[in-house]
Structure 1
Amino acid sequence: MDNQELRAVATKALSLLDLTNLKDDCTPEQIVSLCGKAQTAYGPTAAICIWPRFVMQARTLLGPDSPIRIATVVNFPSGAMKIEDVLAETRDAVADGADDIDLVIPYRALASGDEKAVTDMVTAVKAACGNAILKTILETGELKDVALIRKASDLAIAAGADFVKTSTGKVGVNATLEAADIMLQSIRDSRKRVGFKPAGGISTVADAGLYLRLADTIMGEDWVIPSTFRFGASGLLDDILAVLSGERSTAAASGY
């Protein structure tokens, strides 16, 4: 990838980025920093992605008219909470000002053969989202099997998901191009307007470019926009800014 192409990918990736802090020990001070980082000299990120307990703080910091969306997580990271508890989390987050709800599906239940658990969870949480968009986290690195990843994606889309997302960033294997390929084909075959979010381990503009190229190949070159594609990452922004400022890409791999 030459410098011109790298800069073009960096510019696009910035507009698609859900800048993330889901560290267990995240502090209010780090949320202040995250909100500041999301407003770059080259334009804003698409969103920040944070724990539910920080949504109200972030909404106050960003204000009601910010172009930066606030995403938060529910049933996270285990995917094993009861539906009523996940619904309470969702309603509270929306009331606090969340724009996007990133829901971990009950992937362990699916792996043991319980498809209904996924359908019931996604359907119920979608109804609780109100005007917020619902991104469903499949935890593809734990599902592993190609057919199971495809099944998880198909079920989530059929139940009303607005996005399918690869990973929590909390397990050994997170976003992979193989999982992305399966999920993008699921979206294409559904013929529904559903977005895709690779998350976890994408820390360089070059890595981001591989996912964008794959999406262009499967979905068509005009498909990738913030309403249909997001990157979930914490370290990617540093590399984006390095590339856009003319510095050398120096990003090291990060957990998310």
Structure 2
Amino acid sequence: MDSADSHAVARRALGLLDLTDLSGECTPAAIDRLSARAVTPHGSVAAVCLYPRFVAQATALLAGTGVKVATVVNFPAGGEDTPAVLAETQAALADGADEIDLVMPYRAFLDGRPEVARDQIAAVSSLVKAAGARLKVILETGEIGDLDKVRAASELAVEAGADFLKTSTGKVKVNASIEAARVMLDVIARSGRTDLGFKPAGGIRTLEDAAAYLAVADAAMGSGWARPSTFRFGASGLLDALVATLEGREDDGGTGY
């Protein structure tokens, strides 16, 4: 990419970013820093994504900024204890979460028990929609592997009430991939729902990574489709690369804004 193209991609991607801290050592001080980074001189990210115990803190810190607060449930294992997942979801919503990122019970799906996944997604969707929030369903595509099964999981999640399809937790060996993205975006296109979103997550760190996923989204859905309500990047380090590009400097790998 030339400098003008790089600048355009960086500006576009910044507003589509779910700035994420799902590290095991995350602390309240780290959430203070994350929330401060969410608003840059070049614009704000779409959301921060963090563990449920930090939702109330982030909600207070980001009040009035327009930055959404997203949190994860059934994370990262994608278990089958739906009552526990519902309790976790309800607590997060009560603390102010705008978006819930639910790990689908993908092992049950792979074991030939899709009804477990379908019922859990539907139950969480009901809670989320009643609260006026949005539901992202994490398929864990790297663990599913087979692209036909990725398609089937995507279709199941859409039918059960997902507002977004999300690739990955970022906690497994294989996370987001362009191949899985194409399949998931095709399911979205075929659904006829222009409000249904897509979120690649895990391993997206560079401007080139961001450009590749935006190109796939544009090809599948049209150049005007990817906006904060329909497209997000789940990443922790990508913001530094985007800000560095916008400021005309090399990304030094630091924390930046």
* TM-score in terms of structure 2 length: 0.96
Deviation of the 1:66 alpha carbon: 2.5
Matched, 1:94 2:96: no
Kindly tell me the number of residue pairs found equivalent between the two proteins.
251
Q: Which residue of 1 aligns with 2:124?
A: 125
8 Å contact from structure 1 (residues 71, 99) kept in 2? yes
Residues of 2 paired with 1:20 and 1:135: CA distance? 14
Secondary structure in 2 matching 1:189: helix
Deviation of the 1:118 alpha carbon: 1.4
Secondary structure in 2 matching 1:223: coil
- For structure 2, the residue ranges without an aligned partner over 5 or more in a row are none
Q: Which residue of 2 aligns with 1:143?
A: 144
The amino acid of 1:110's aligned partner reads: F
Seq. identity, %:
53
Q: Which residue of 1 aligns with 2:158?
A: 157
Mean CA deviation greater in 186-195 or 175-184 = 186-195
1:219 to 197, 218, 221: 221
Residues of 1 paired with 2:204 and 2:252: CA distance? 13
8 Å contact from structure 2 (residues 80, 116) kept in 1? no
Secondary structure in 2 matching 1:19: strand
For 1:167-182, what aligned pairs fall within 5 Å after superposition? 167-182=168-183
Mean CA deviation greater in 164-173 or 76-85 = 76-85
The amino acid of 2:55's aligned partner reads: V
Closer, same or farther in 2 for the Cα pair 1:251/1:219, shift >3 Å? farther
Matched, 1:58 2:84: no
| Residues 133-156 of structure 1, C-alpha deviations (whole Å, 9 max, x = no match) | 000000000000111100110000
Residues of 2 paired with 1:34 and 1:147: CA distance? 37
Deviation of the 1:249 alpha carbon: 4.5
Q: CA RMSD in A?
A: 1.1
Residues of 2 paired with 1:242 and 1:81: CA distance? 42
8 Å contact from structure 1 (residues 203, 251) kept in 2? no
Deviation of the 1:248 alpha carbon: 2.6
Deviation of the 1:250 alpha carbon: 5.5
Secondary structure in 2 matching 1:181: helix
Q: Which residue of 1 aligns with 2:11?
A: 11
The amino acid of 1:238's aligned partner reads: D
| Residues 201-227 of structure 1, C-alpha deviations (whole Å, 9 max, x = no match) | 000111100000010001111111000
Matched, 1:105 2:104: yes
Matched, 1:199 2:201: yes
Residues of 2 paired with 1:75 and 1:117: CA distance? 13
- For structure 1, the residue ranges without an aligned partner over 5 or more in a row are none
Deviation of the 1:62 alpha carbon: 1.4
Residues of 2 paired with 1:81 and 1:56: CA distance? 26
Residues of 2 paired with 1:207 and 1:103: CA distance? 24
